[in-house]
Structures are given as structure tokens and as C-alpha cells.
């Protein structure tokens, strides 16, 4: 018996290791539901191995029947996890087959605990011992199967086989090396092992074969193959995400430079004001110094003005330099109003030059959000510049952009809205405005909104456009997760 215990224990340990690995993959990326399903399958396989050892150690028909009864506890989640793994991994499953399997297995699971001694047998009269790997294990000798109910169990397993095979075929037909690789992996992991296990199980239940009841070869084989391809895909997708993040960072920097190019005239005008003021004040100070005696109080006031103008110029240059920096997104707890004020300070000169009124509707006490202030300022600046351009068709006294924010404590997020009084986004193009290289402006690159969309998604939020009830123009909304 020791060899069987060692082998089944090793299978349980391997299943748990794979379960932990797949669970960690899911924790690193909550969208990877297929890894979560493999984690559930791994835990269920380990539990099934323990129950099967109990079956092999059973000495009486009553004990054997009780172990079969409890075997359904790991069996049900193992089968359902395989169903949903195929659904999430291949993304080409047949829904009615999927729910057919889930419903029939749910019926079997419930009925199993309502019937004595279990779902499969109305009575187990005797057990005997058979040799497996040189060890003596318990198996059914004489029993009365529930033929009517057993046909439902067979039907559920056949539906599962058809479901897996149809999903694999549909995935294969999509074309592409990646889809065919996935279809082949699932077909090999599930198809043949499942069919052989179904056939073996029914022969044991109806007394044709006298071997022990076991699904471990099927479960563990499926788990090993599907775990391998899932880890392989995870490593590849992780690398692809890193490359995409690097690309997004480079594109974001290009778009920031483009934004500053559009702001160049207004920013140079804004910078020239403190520089001119400093020049005039220094000239006045030199004149006062030539007086005898010099008016020290007036000189101090002049130098104080020079210092203030110098600080103003340094602040403008500092904001410009921040936007020029190339950096990846770094999420930290920040205040939404800080990012808004930074963007407004950069766009304010352009807004004044184009006779556009900027209004802020940011309530006090908003929760901190998880974000990158530079990248969020870029998103807001892009929306403001688009709004400034959009309202140029309106009379000068009707050009208005409003920036609002509100907290949604139930969802744990903050929503920001940039609304303009322009003509709005035509319904014919509203579904395309976030597409890369799509633009309606002759001088536009078509990347501003696309990059803004990816930046907000990288923050775990959403960016969309609409027209608020009772309001003119376009309203761009985006959400940020509370820190």
C-alpha cells in the first residue's frame, strides 16, 4: 500500500504546487481568470487524491459508499473549473454546452447528498482487494448502480467532452499560430484523457472492471498541460506588457512635446511678461542708486518685485521641464486638484489668448487617488487644449471650459469631467475618437486622445466621451481609483 500512498501523495503535492503558482499568477493580474480556474482545479485535484486514498483503504461496503459520497466535494469544482478554464482561455466556447455541463453537474452534486449511500449506487453489497502497483487496494465487488441517474452522469461527461472539443475546434478555425497552439494544448490535455477516464469509470461502476475508482490521471494530466501553457502565456504576456509600457512611455513623451509645441506661443508670451518686468524693475533700481542719497525703502520694494517675477519665471520653466521628462507611469497617492491646477496653469495663457474662460468645480476633501501627477496633467492638458480649439466656433463670450470632479465612495473612485461649450463630438465619429492616428484636425497627429486613453487605463480607470443632459458641447469623463 505504501507505493500507492507515495504516488497519490506526490500527485496531490504536484497539484498544490501548480495551484499556488496559478493563484499567484491570478493575484498579479486579476484579469487572468483562466489561472484562477487552474488554481481551483489544482486544489480540487489534491483533495480528490486524498479521497481516493480513503476509497482504497475502505474495508467495508458502508465505508466505501461513504467515501464515494464525499468524492463529489472535490469532483464538482474540478469539473466546473475545467469548464470555465476552457471558456476564458480559448474565448470561443459554446455557451449552451457550457451551461448544460454546469447545470447537470450541479444536479448530480445536490442529488448525491440526498441519496443513500450515494448518487451512483442504490446499494454496495461487497468490496474486495485488487493489486495496483504491487499494493492491495479496495474496489467494488458487487453493487447495484442507479441506471437511470447514472445515464445523467454519463450525459454530463459527454457534454463536457463535446464542449471542450467544440471550443478547441472553434479556436483552431480562428486561424493564427497562437489560437492553434492553444486549441491543440486544450485538446490534448482534456480530450483523450477525459474520454478514457469516462469509459474506465463507467466500466467500474457497472462491474465490468474490478479496478479502483480514480480520476487523478485525468485531473493531474490536464492540470500539468494546461498549467504549462498558462505559465508560458503569462511569461509572454508579461514581456509584451513591459514592451507596451515602454512604448506607451515614449509615445506619451512625443505627445507631451507636441502639446508644448502647440502651447509655445502662449508660454513664450507668459514667460516674457516676468522677464520684461524684471528688466524694467532693474532699470528703475539703477536710476534710484544714482540718486543721492538712494531711497533704500523704494529699492527694497523694487528688488522684492524682481524676486517675485523671477519666481514666476522659474515656476513656468519648471512646469515645462516636468512635461519634457521621459518617465514610466509611477502610481502614488496624489490629490486630483494638484494635477488639475498644474494642467490649468499651463493652458491658462493659451485660454486667455483665445478668449476662453476656464472654470474649476473641484469640491474640497476629495479622497487621494492612485496616480502619476505628470501623466494625469498630460491627459488634462490634452483635453483642455482640445476644448480650447473646439469652442473657437462660438462667440467670444460663450467660450467656456469647466473642469469638475466628484468622489464615488461606493465604487472607491474619483470621476473627473472636462466639459466645453463647443459643438460636441458628432455621433458618426464618437466611436473612433480614441483610435490611434484618427483626427479631424489638419495639423493633428491623432495620438492625443489615444495616449490619454491608455494612460487612464494604465491607472486602472476609464475614459469616455458623452454629452451631459442639459449641457452643450462635449464632456470627457475619466475615473481614477482611490488610493
* Domains defined along the chain, listed by start: 2-245 (1.20.1070), 330-483 (3.30.565.10)
- Do 63 and 97 form a contact (C-beta atoms < 8 A)? no
Give one DSSP letter per residue of 146-173, joined into a string: -HHHHHHHHHHHHHHHHHHHHHHHHHHH
Backbone dihedral angles phi then psi of residue 287, each to the nearest 5 degrees: -65, -40
Q: Any residues with CB less than 8 A from the CB of 420 and at least 6 apart, and which?
A: 386, 387, 390, 391, 400, 401, 402, 473, 474
What is the pLDDT, as a whole number, of residue 321? 63
Answer whether 228's CB lies under 8 Å from 26's CB: no
pLDDT recorded at residue 269: 53
pLDDT of the chain, 483 residues: tens digit per residue = 577 888 888 888 888 888 888 888 888 777 778 888 888 988 998 898 899 888 888 889 999 989 999 999 999 998 899 899 888 888 877 889 999 999 999 999 999 999 988 888 889 888 888 887 777 888 888 888 888 888 898 888 889 889 988 988 888 887 777 788 788 888 877 777 777 777 888 888 877 777 788 877 777 777 777 776 766 666 556 555 555 556 656 666 666 666 666 555 555 655 665 676 677 677 777 777 777 777 777 777 777 777 776 766 666 666 666 655 555 667 889 888 888 888 887 788 778 888 888 888 888 888 899 888 878 887 888 888 888 888 888 888 888 989 998 888 888 899 999 988 888 877 777 777 777 666 666 555 566 777 788 788 888 888 888 776 666 788 899 999 888
- Report pTM: 0.55
Hey, which bits of 210-356 come out as E strands? 332-334
pLDDT score recorded for residue 99: 93
Pick the closest to residue 84 from 148, 40, 43 (CA basis).
40
Q: What is the pLDDT of residue 107?
A: 94
Q: Is the preceding omega at residue 387 within 30 degrees of 0, hence cis? A: no
Amino acid at each position: 500500500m505504501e507505493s500507492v500512498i507515495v504516488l497519490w501523495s506526490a500527485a496531490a503535492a504536484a497539484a498544490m504546487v501548480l495551484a499556488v503558482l496559478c493563484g499567484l499568477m491570478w493575484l498579479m493580474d486579476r484579469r487572468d481568470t483562466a489561472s484562477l480556474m487552474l488554481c481551483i482545479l489544482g486544489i480540487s485535484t489534491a483533495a480528490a487524491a486524498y479521497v481516493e486514498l480513503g476509497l482504497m483503504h475502505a474495508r467495508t461496503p458502508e465505508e466505501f459508499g461513504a467515501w464515494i459520497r464525499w468524492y463529489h466535494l472535490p469532483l464538482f469544482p474540478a469539473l466546473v473549473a475545467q469548464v470555465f478554464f476552457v471558456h476564458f482561455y480559448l474565448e470561443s466556447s459554446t455557451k449552451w454546452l457550457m451551461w448544460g455541463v454546469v447545470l447537470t453537474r450541479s444536479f448530480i452534486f445536490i442529488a448525491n447528498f440526498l441519496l443513500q449511500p450515494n448518487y451512483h449506487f442504490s446499494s454496495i453489497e461487497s468490496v474486495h482487494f485488487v493489486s495496483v502497483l504491487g499494493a492491495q487496494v479496495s474496489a467494488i465487488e458487487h453493487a447495484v448502480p442507479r441506471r437511470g441517474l447514472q445515464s445523467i452522469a454519463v450525459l454530463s461527461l459527454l457534454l463536457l467532452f463535446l464542449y471542450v472539443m467544440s471550443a478547441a475546434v472553434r479556436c483552431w478555425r480562428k486561424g493564427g499560430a497562437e489560437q492553434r497552439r492553444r486549441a491543440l494544448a486544450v485538446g490534448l490535455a482534456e480530450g483523450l484523457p477525459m474520454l478514457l477516464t469516462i469509459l474506465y469509470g463507467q466500466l467500474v461502476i457497472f462491474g465490468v472492471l474490478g479496478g479502483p475508482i480514480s480520476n487523478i490521471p485525468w485531473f493531474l494530466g490536464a492540470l500539468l498541460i494546461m498549467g504549462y501553457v498558462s505559465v508560458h502565456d503569462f511569461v509572454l504576456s508579461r514581456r509584451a506588457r513591459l514592451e507596451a509600457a515602454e512604448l506607451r512611455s515614449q509615445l506619451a513623451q512625443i505627445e507631451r512635446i507636441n502639446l508644448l509645441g502647440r502651447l509655445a506661443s502662449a508660454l513664450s508670451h507668459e514667460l516674457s511678461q516676468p522677464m520684461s518686468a524684471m528688466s524694467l524693475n532693474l532699470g528703475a533700481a539703477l536710476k534710484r542708486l544714482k540718486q543721492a542719497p538712494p531711497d533704500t525703502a523704494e529699492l527694497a520694494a523694487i528688488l522684492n518685485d524682481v524676486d517675485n517675477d523671477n519666481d514666476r519665471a522659474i515656476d513656468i520653466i519648471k512646469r515645462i521641464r516636468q512635461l519634457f521628462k521621459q518617465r514610466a507611469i509611477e502610481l502614488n497617492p496624489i490629490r486630483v486638484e494638484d494635477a488639475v491646477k498644474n494642467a490649468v496653469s499651463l493652458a491658462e495663457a493659451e485660454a486667455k489668448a483665445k478668449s476662453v474662460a476656464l472654470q474649476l468645480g473641484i469640491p474640497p476633501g476629495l479622497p487621494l487617488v492612485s496616480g502619476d501627477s505628470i501623466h494625469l496633467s498630460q491627459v488634462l492638458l490634452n483635453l483642455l487644449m482640445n476644448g480650447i480649439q473646439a469652442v473657437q466656433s462660438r462667440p467670444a463670450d460663450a467660450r467656456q471650459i469647466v473642469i469638475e470632479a466628484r468622489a464615488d465612495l461606493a465604487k472607491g473612485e474619483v470621476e473627473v469631467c472636462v466639459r466645453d461649450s463647443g459643438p460636441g463630438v458628432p455621433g458618426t465619429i464618437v466611436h473612433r475618437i480614441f483610435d490611434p492616428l484618427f483626427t479631424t484636425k489638419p495639423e493633428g497627429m491623432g495620438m492625443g486622445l489615444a495616449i490619454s486613453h491608455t494612460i487612464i487605463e494604465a491607472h486602472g480607470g476609464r475614459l469616455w466621451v458623452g454629452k451631459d443632459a442639459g449641457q452643450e458641447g462635449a464632456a470627457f469623463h475619466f475615473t481614477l481609483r482611490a488610493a
